[in-house]
Amino acid sequence: MRADYEAIQEESARVLSYIAADHLDAETQQRIIDDSLENFPKYVTAAILKSRKSYADTVQVAEWEDEGAIFRDTKGHEYIDCLGGYGVYLLGHRHPRVVEVVKHQLDHQALHSQELIDPLRGYLSKLVAMITPGDLQHTYLVNAGTEANEMALKLARLATGKTWFISTEKGFHGKTMGSLSATGKGVYRKPYLPLVPGFQHVPFGRADAVEEAIRQLTLAGETVAGVIVEPIQGEGGVNIPPDDYLPSLRAICDQYACLLIVDEVQTGMGRTGKLFGVDHVGVVPDIMTLGKAFGGGVAPVAAMVTQHRFWDKMEENPFILGSSTFGGNPLAAAAAIATIHTVVSEDVPGIVAKKGEYMLRRLLDIRTRHQDRLVDVRGRGFLIGLEFRDDADGYAVAKALFRRRILVGGTLNNARVIRIEPPYCLSEEQMDTVLSGVEDALSELAE
């Protein structure tokens, strides 16, 4: 059956008029919400609407514009963003410098031919080498964190000629097949079993468990290509390992000649109060992956970066890891370059460390008054977790905060631990509003 081109033009023109509008009248505001409530069940999935923890009972909220630490819905209501796209908005929404650079780039080139030299890929890769620890040097640019982790796993097998990987319980590395195999959460894995073979999961924070797994595999005649780990588990519940954990993993990987892969997709670019999570303990991984905040909250871009000594197979065949059509494209590269410049020139990690310490101290104080429901408060920088006694309390607090126009996020497909991941530009006044909201929500729950 031939497509109805006239209807397609009419529908797309209508939506384009909304995008171009400087202001939405009341009728259009409601029309967009009504359209969304019709479009998602029919053309996306109704489950997305039902899964939104913060406003599951009041789904008629559609975000439309944003800036700094806030976003607005179609009706102009303003919300403080303490979810931050699960780590994407470290620089805030539409940071002026990043937007300006991307606009300049768009004025003369958006994508590239795939055949000639694309200079921004080289400039960005050089800057990644400059900001990452130790002798990390070569960068492979992709579109999302899960792709970066796929490249890391493939490179580890290429570089070592070995097979197995040690990962962690509750670890999260993405949902494509290889990354999902490394992920340590059954709810994501079960529908796709069997996954890529050669992954063993051990408790997070226990270096002895990693060494024991390697020892057992080696005795059984298997070979271990690498250990993949997050400096702090984000999706796993904001779990912070002992200070000697990563240094011990570094020593174990050296001893057994396997690669240490550190997933900095969520913790990188200053989120924890240091440029990278590994910087808290001075560890240099063999492979590091970046994503989320790497694009400055403006463009999707991620990266795998590694040392020169593991790169020889790529020199033989530059497409052996993959050939990402859009990875490292000019627009995304421009955004990441502007992000690096902003993070370094504004000392974003230092700002995050100071503000995060304030937030954490105040939240711990709130916990002393609500220990029966708020079981734990933990975090580093602007990656903070509030653990409640059960899912129900977490949901209740998230919803109570949303009624106060504060957005937070759950973890592990539940709300027992909710994450606070705001932008670095969250003001003192906004922080106090959030803290008062948490206190009020807990008091309301107690009543």
Q: Does 78 score more than 90 pLDDT?
A: yes
Which of 325, 345, 365 lies at the terminal end of a domain, its last residue?
A: 345
The DSSP output letter for 72 is: E
- Determine the Cα–Cα distance for residues 188 and 422; give it in Å rounded to an integer: 26
Residue 274 shares a structural domain with residue 369: no
Q: 271 and 128 in one domain?
A: yes
**Residue 55: band (very low, low, confident or very high) from pLDDT cuts 50, 70, 90:** low
Q: Is residue 4 part of a domain?
A: no
**DSSP letters along 23-56, please?**
S--HHHHHHHHHHHHHHHHHHS-HHHHHH-STTT
Q: Is residue 57's pLDDT more than 70? A: no
pLDDT digits (tens, 9 = 90+) for 211-226: 999 999 999 999 999 9
In this prediction, residue 265 carries a pLDDT of 98
Q: CB–CB of 305/137 below 8 Å?
A: yes
Q: Are residues 326 and 390 in the same domain?
A: no
Same domain, yes or no: 181 and 287: yes
Do both 196 and 145 map to the same domain?
yes
Q: Residue 336 is part of a domain; what is its CATH number?
A: 3.40.640.10
Q: Of 122-136, 195-209, 233-247, 388-402, which gets the smallest average pLDDT?
A: 388-402
Last residue of a domain, one of 311, 326, 345: 345
Pair 252, 123 in one domain: yes
Are the beta carbons of 269 and 294 closer than 8 angstroms? yes
Nearby residues of 185 by Cβ (< 8 Å), 6 or more positions away: 170, 171, 172, 235, 236, 412, 413
Average pLDDT (292-311) is 97
Q: What is the mean pLDDT of residues 332-345?
A: 98
CA distance 22 to 209: 57
- Per-residue model confidence as pLDDT tens digits over 350-363: 999 999 999 999 99
Confidence of residue 4 (pLDDT cuts 50, 70, 90): very high
CATH number at residue 410: 3.90.1150.10
Q: Is the pLDDT of residue 410 over 80?
A: no
pTM (2 d.p.): 0.95
Together in a domain, 138 and 265: yes
Measured between its terminal Cα atoms, the distance across the chain in Å is 60
pLDDT tops 90 at residue 231: yes
Domain that holds residue 240: 96-345
pLDDT at residue 49 in the model: 74
- pLDDT exceeds cutoff 90 at 153: yes
Residue 437 pLDDT: 97
Residues 73 and 195 in one domain: no
Confidence grade of residue 48 (pLDDT, cut at 50, 70, 90):
confident
What values do phi and psi take at 172, rounded to 5?
Answer: -135, 120
Average confidence score pLDDT of the chain: 94
Q: Are 266 and 273 in contact (CB under 8 A)?
A: no
In the chain, % helix, strand, coil (3-state, to 5) comes to: 50, 20, 35
The span from the CA of 179 to the CA of 146, in Å, is 6
Say whether pLDDT at 58 is over 60.
no
Please check whether residue 419 is in contact with residue 83, taking contact to mean a CB–CB distance below 8 angstroms. Answer: yes
Q: In the chain, what percentage of residues exceed pLDDT 90? A: 86
- Count: domains in the chain: 2
* 108 and 74 co-located in one domain: no
Are 224 and 281 members of one domain? yes
Residue that terminates a domain, selected from 345, 373, 392? 345
Mean pLDDT of the region 80-101 = 97
- Determine the pLDDT at residue 315: 81
